[in-house]
A and B are shown apart, each in its own frame.
Chain A
Amino acid sequence: MVSWNTKQKIIGFLYILPLFIVVLLLFLYPLIYSVYISFTNMAAIHFLHFKYIGLFNYEMMIKDKYLATLLINTVIWTLGSLIPMIALGLSLAIILNQKDLYGKSIFYAILILPWAFPGFISLLVWQGMWVDPYGFMNRYLLPFLHLPHVNSLISVSSAWTELIVTNLWLSFPYYMTVFYSGLQSIPQELYEIADVDGAGPLQKFATITFPSLRKIIAFVFITSFVFTWNNFYPIYILTGGGPGIATETFTVYAYQQAFSQYNYAFAAALSIVSTIITVGLGIIVLKFTGVLENIT
């Protein structure tokens, strides 16, 4: 006779089984397979018949003279993109959240327009816009603003400018939308009481808006940090990691190792290390901000 508790456990297990199967197939299998091949010599000439070689790929990675540069570049890319994206997204959300703003829907529709285009196509358009001296940016906009030309082929700072500005354009609607919805959840009464107390806009932002959004900002920061860390297309399309490897990140380097140099095992090892770094940083940020405390 099966006890009631056992039966309940079986039923409970059946409930989560479909999700477990999906997670296993879609998430865990690729991860486990990547870990597995990172310990093999899977490469061009050992594509079908590869063997276990222990930590060789990880040793090669440590010996790789580009490792430090790749790490620094990845941090520059991630934080360099995230900070302006969050700042712009939050600023626009605050503007949109003004009660007395007319045509709010129209502004919002215009501002989320970059989302309407497929990212890959947008990047190709931006690639053309940055061509020096023929593209829109170097031909019209930058001279109009009295700013110097930007050419990623001849300058590292230009390359970073191209990447971060383009990524900002591609991503700010997401941040704006998330913060806008967060702002709308703040009780209006708080602002009204603050008005009665004679608080100014900055004071209201510092004492009401920002504390109320703290967890949303932390959540957005963590998820976007991981996404941007692994974001591949902007760099691959706009600069290809150049000049040299000046804008090359872990992910772009891993891609080139796999698909240009057919060194799949080494690329897998790079990906695993990259994953460990992002998971580690994620845990630290989660603990620091306590963003998951309210999620039960």
Chain B
Amino acid sequence: MGKYRSLSGTAIAAIVIVVVIVIIAAGVGAYYATRKHITTTSTTPVATTTSSVPKTSTTTTTTPPPTTTTTTTTTTTTTTHTPVTITVADSYSTSENAAFNQTIAAFEQQYPWIHVNVEYGAQDSASNYQSEVQAGDAPNVLRVSSDSAGVAFASGWLLNLSQYLPKSYFARYINVTIQDSMLNGSVYGLPDDENSIVMFYNKKFVPEPPNTTNQLIQIAENVNKTYHIWGIAYGASDEYGYRFAAWFAGYGGQIFTTINGKIYPDLNSTAMVNALNFWYNLTYNLKINYLAPSPGAGGAEGELFTSNQTAIIFDGPWDLGNYFSALGCNLGAAPLPVVSQTGLYATPFVGAQDWVITTPSASGATPAQINASLLFIEFVTNYSAEMRLWNIAGDIPALTSAYNTALKELSETNTTNTTILCLNNIKKGILEQETHGMIMPNIPQMGSYWSSFHQYASEFFASKINATQAAQGMEQAFIQALQQSGLLSPIPLPNSLYLLQEFSTKY
């Protein structure tokens, strides 16, 4: 018996650690098992009606739609609701959050049984939530770009709103925004704004914006000679094809074509060659464009623009605040010019920011949370919410009634306040651009476009290949990427793809 030893203190400690780990793991497992159980079995509606008293009320909002006075007859019922909490991933900027926080307060006032747990500073791309989706722990509601939401919807982790809301409900949004929130005829998101790039110019150097590319060149050369600054700062080689798509379309190109129902890339075209050569010429031969390494207000393009080192840049209204605070009334905004060679507008992508709901399998949501999420996304895309975003942050409304009010506000503002007048003129330019855009493709195949374009455009602007080789190369790379991801197969085209053209008659 002498060779048997009692357990040492270390061994006992190790056993205790293991036991604790096992208990914690079992506890976590039990917690998730319980959550799944609730998710799959709880199907009872949460509202319990205690009385039903029909009542007529007149809804008055602070800024009503201009065209009609809305008198709504609703049937209000006094009900008891089980409290429910939903998690919302908020991708708004600081200025947008000022509007959004007011909307949240109004929502919780109207639906006191719903508590909204807001995750501020979230990403606006749906791809950032995939780990949480795999774990079944994604937020209930996300605000993401319509194209990234399209991929998520195709992946099967966003709710099909067409199954919950009538078709007529979606008609209240501007056609282009709802089309861009739709895949295969099903709507997956409610848009709260409409966005595209626009031409920002500094009136100190460019009193009147160019209408054509010939004028653009003339103005840029003049600025270059007179003020010794860059005419344009556009980093065509650094981008992934979001902005370049406008010039490609202006030369008559399109990203996709269909052959026997299959989607094929259509980048290898004369339009791509001409568009690439146009910017190469402005950059290297005429030396009026600065091939900036980074776009946007925080990048080199924005830095040069706000420090009066370049006269023209192409950026979105999301950076308006930065430019206006730097340049004030010298800032101008106008649509991208008509390509002189073709007579077509350079038409940028027009997309939307969508409020979407994750499926119960992705978020572990109960039916009560799904109901609350639906109420929430309807509320944050209603007239009052979108007008708040327009008035406070300058977001272009996606709701037709709010958009019309915004237009009317701009034309009828009766003020002598110079700042407001200047800002309104800029906003007019931005709104005008929206009428010369093309719907941003939201199909999963689009994911393979960006790096294919970037790879060969950057080689072209580094003078390693010519434009023809670049166009061929990017199309081959696009096809290879689609093959690798299994997307070069007959996937039905969503409606929006057929609208890859100017939509000036959208209303």
Residue positions of A touching B, CB distance < 8 A: 4, 7, 11, 14-15, 17-18, 21, 41, 43-49, 57, 60, 64-65, 127, 131-132, 134, 152-156, 240-246, 256-257, 259-263, 266
1/0 contact string of B448-488 vs chain A (CB within 8 Å): 10110011101101111100000000000000110111110
Instruction: Name B462's contact: one of A14, A17, A134, A244 (CB within 8 Å).
Output: A244
A153 close to B455 (CB less than 8 A): no
Give the complex CA separation of A17 and B19 in angstroms.
Answer: 11
Residues of A within 8 A of B286 (CB): none
Please give, as numbers and ranges, the residues of chain A lying within 8 Å of B291 by CB-CB distance: 153-154
A17 touches B235 (CB 8 A): no
Q: Which residue of B lies closest to A43 (CB)?
A: B485
| Contact B361 A44, beta carbon cutoff 8 Å | no
13 contacts between A and B (CB under 8 A): A4-B4, A18-B14, A18-B17, A44-B444, A48-B157, A60-B483, A65-B480, A152-B293, A154-B237, A242-B459, A246-B464, A261-B485, A263-B485
A244, B464: Cβ atoms under 8 Å?
A: yes
- Please state if B156 and A14 are interface contacts (CB–CB under 8 Å): no
- Contact (Cβ within 8 A) A47 B156: yes
Query: Given the complex, which residues of B lie within 8 Å of A132, measured CB to CB?
Result: 293
- How many angstroms from the CA of A123 to the CA of B461 in the assembled complex? 24
CA–CA, A11 and B480, complex, Å: 55
Within 8 Å by CB of A45, from B3, B154, B465, lies: B154
Partner of B14, one of A14, A257, A266: A14
A153 & B235 in contact (Cβ 8 Å cutoff): yes
Given contacts A4-B4, A47-B156, A261-B447, contact A156 B462 (CB under 8 A): yes
CB-nearest residue of chain B to A57: B484
Tell me how far the C-beta of B410 lies from the nearest C-beta in chain A, rounded to whole angstroms.
36
Residues of B within 8 A of A44 (CB): 151, 154-155, 444, 447, 485, 487
* Cβ–Cβ contact B157 & A45, under 8 A: no
Label chain B's interface by main secondary structure.
Answer: helix
Is B7 engaged at the interface, CB distance under 8 Å to the other chain? yes
Contacts of A256 in B (CB 8 A): 451
Interface string of B424-462 (1 = CB under 8 A from A): 000000000000000000001001101100111011011
Query: Are A48's CB and B156's CB within 8 A?
Result: yes
Closest to B476 in A: A65
Residues of B within 8 A of A48 (CB): 133, 155-157, 361
**Do B14 and A17 have beta carbons less than 8 Å apart?**
yes
| Chain A CB within 8 A of B130 CB | yes
Please report the number of residue pairs spanning A and B whose Cβ atoms sit closer than 8 angstroms.
Answer: 131
Q: Which residue from B303, B458, B484 sits with its C-beta under 8 Å from A64?
A: B484
A243's contact among B10, B237, B450, B491, by CB below 8 Å, is which? B237
In contact, A154 and B451 (Cβ under 8 angstroms): no
Note all chain A residues with C-beta closer than 8 A to B481.
261, 263
B21 sits at the interface (CB 8 A): yes
A131, B459: Cβ atoms under 8 Å?
Answer: no
Nearest Cβ on chain A to B251's Cβ, whole angstroms: 22
Complex Cα spacing A153 to B236, Å: 10
Query: How far, in Å, is B446 (CB) from chain A's closest CB?
Result: 10
The CA of A43 and the CA of B445, in the complex, are separated in Å by: 11
> Are A242 and B458 closer than 8 Å at their CB atoms?
yes
* B window 242-285: CB within 8 A of A: none
Known: A11-B7, A15-B10, A261-B447. A46 touches B486 (CB 8 A): yes
- Asked if residues B21 and A18 are in contact (CB atoms below 8 Å), the reply is yes
Which of chain B's residues has its CB closest to A260's CB? B451
Q: Is the CB of A41 within 8 A of B130?
A: no
CA distance A256 to B450 in the complex (A): 10
Complex interface: chain B residues within 8 A of A263 (CB): 481, 484-485
A260 touches B156 (CB 8 A): no
Residue B116 lies at the interface, judged by CB distance under 8 Å to chain A: no
Interface code B391-427, partner A: CB below 8 Å = 1, 0 otherwise? 0000000000000000000000000000000000000
Specify which chain A residues have a CB less than 8 angstroms from the CB of B98 in the assembled complex: none
Instruction: Tell me, rounded to whole Å, the shortest Cβ–Cβ distance linking B315 to chain A.
Output: 18
Hey, which chain A residues are within 8 Å of B480, CB to CB?
64-65
- Closest Cβ–Cβ distance, residue A36 to chain B (whole Å): 13
Q: Which one, A4, A156, A266, contacts B485 given CB within 8 A?
A: A266
State whether A259 and B462 are in contact (beta carbons under 8 Å apart), knowing that A44-B487, A60-B483, A60-B484 are contacts in the complex.
no
Contacts of A260 in B (CB 8 A): 447, 450-451
Choice from B3, B127, B461, B487 contacting A154 with Cβ under 8 Å = B461
| CB-CB under 8 A for A131 and B293, given A21-B21, A44-B151, A44-B485 | yes
Rounded to whole angstroms, the CA-CA distance of A41 and B14 in the bound complex is 42
B1-43 vs A, CB cutoff 8 Å, 1 = contact: the mask equals 0011001001100110110010000000000000000000000
| A240 touching B454 in the complex, CB below 8 Å, given contacts A43-B486, A263-B484 | yes
Contact between A154 and B154, CB atoms less than 8 A apart: no
Cα A249 to Cα B21 in complex, Å, equals: 39
Q: Which residue of B lies closest to A256 (CB)?
A: B451
Top 3 A-B residue pairs of the complex, sorted by shortest distance between their CB atoms: A244-B459, A243-B462, A47-B155
Known: A43-B486, A48-B155, A60-B483. A243 touches B464 (CB 8 A): yes
